[in-house]
Amino acid sequence: MNSSLPEEAEAREAWREARQEAQRGRDPGAMARKMEKGATDVQSVFEEWLLRDQAENRTAPEVKRMFERYVLPGWGRRPIEGIRRRDVLDVIDAIADKGAIAMARRVQSRLNRLFVWSVGRGILTLNPMQGLPKPGSDIKRDRVLSDDELAAVWRGAEQLGWPYGRAVQLLLLTGARREEIGQLRWSEVQGATIHLEGARTKTGNAHLIPLSTPAMALLEHAPRVAGSDYVFTISGRRPIRGWSGAKIQLDELASISAWRIHDLRRTVATGMQKLGVVLQVVEAALGHTAGSRGGIVGIYQRHDYANEKRAALEVWGAHVTVLVEGREPGKVVPIRGTPRL
């Protein structure tokens, strides 16, 4: 009688897994059929890993897109036990050689987790990535784009088109954070100002972003998806996400490497200071609460710099337009009318 206990335990475990897969909207029989056949090609192992190890991870959709772009096209049908260290390096190096060091590191990290999980499940005996050094060197966090690079990114974004290209251009004009613009809603664009509630900002404080003449022109010419409140969207059901693929295309179009989307924010801040905007106004325009607005000063300094922020971003927008048009930067004054974007 005791000999039946392990079989009963296995049956209960199989039932629980089938129920969980059904609750997630997946076909519980599909995975069973694959594992019954002993399918250990990379595609099959990846799908099981995604289900069992990554299902509760909020970045699972991004991981899936990452593998579908960089890994599965070449490895999908290969037995996972046949993947060697050299194969891994070929994939990682191909990404790093395009200047996408951060993406190369992300792919390496997820691949390593897949192999570690496969060893733990008895699919592999050894992890071919054990001890593999990270690709490239760290991108410095003080990266500021030069005027030529800024113009190149703008033009590359123009070629990239809707929606990621226009989102990048608005980031360049506002200095806002990536998710603040990427998840922008039309209901947040009120007149010539973006109104962000505290739930939409990193600091948790409401933030008003004045829109310069070029920024307004960009939004006025933006397509709108019927019934959707999202500004930058493809389907209308959700805002853009998975910036990594668009960033790689942008790098190629702009012929610039070793930079991050967040560097645009630092570039805007530095550029406005070079144009004579005082630090307190720069920080207010970017919604930055540390630095000169932190500590005891932040408690007592309640001036919102609304007019100063608008003037600063107008001057910055004019400066960007001058660079994009290829004119010699000089004394920049706000541009009236619709600029050539």
CB-CB contact of 319 with 332 (8 Å)? yes
Angle at 63 (CA atoms; ends 59, 65), nearest 5 degrees: 120
Q: How far apart are CA 265 and CA 172, in angstroms?
A: 7
Residues 154, 100: one domain?
Answer: no
Residue found under tokens 């290209």: 165
Q: Could you tell me the CATH number of the domain that includes residue 112? A: 1.10.150.130
129 half-sphere exposure, CB direction, 13 A CA radius: 25
Residues 266, 205: one domain?
Answer: yes
Q: Which residue has the higher pLDDT, 56 or 239?
A: 239
Portion of the chain with pLDDT greater than 70, in percent: 79
Angle at 280 (CA atoms; ends 277, 283), nearest 5 degrees: 90
Which residue type occupies 69?
Answer: R
Task: Tell me, yes or no, whether 48 lies in a domain.
Answer: yes
Question: Residue 133: what pLDDT?
Answer: 86
Residues 174, 68: one domain?
Answer: no
Residues 159, 116: one domain?
Answer: no
Tens of pLDDT along 28-78?
Answer: 454 444 444 456 899 999 999 999 998 888 888 889 999 999 999 999 999
CB-CB contact of 65 with 36 (8 Å)? no
Residues 241, 301: one domain?
Answer: yes
Q: Which segment of 149-158, 169-178, 294-303, 309-318 scores lowest on mean pLDDT?
A: 294-303
Name the residue range of residue 170's domain.
147-324
Q: How far apart are CA 313 and CA 208, in angstroms?
A: 12
C-alpha separations of 15 from 24, 32, 98, 101, 259 in Å: 14, 12, 46, 43, 48
Q: Which segment of 14-18, 281-285, 312-316 scores lowest on mean pLDDT?
A: 14-18
pLDDT interval class at 329 (50, 70, 90): low
Task: Tell me, yes or no, whether 257 lies in a domain.
Answer: yes
CA proximity to 332, closest of 313, 317, 314, 319: 319
**0.85 surpassed by pTM:** no
Q: What is the mean pLDDT of the chain?
A: 83
Residues 6+ away with beta carbon under 8 Å from 164:
157, 232, 240, 243, 246, 250
7 half-sphere exposure, CB direction, 13 A CA radius: 4
Tens of pLDDT along 68-122?
Answer: 999 999 999 999 999 999 899 989 988 887 778 888 999 999 999 999 999 999 9
Number of other residues whose CB lies within 10 A of the CB of residue 293: 17
140, pLDDT greater than 60: no
Residues 213, 298: one domain?
Answer: yes
Number of other residues whose CB lies within 10 A of the CB of residue 186: 14
Task: Tell me, yes or no, whether 243 lies in a domain.
Answer: yes
Task: Tell me, yes or no, whether 220 lies in a domain.
Answer: yes
Q: List the structure tokens of 321.
A: 């337009």
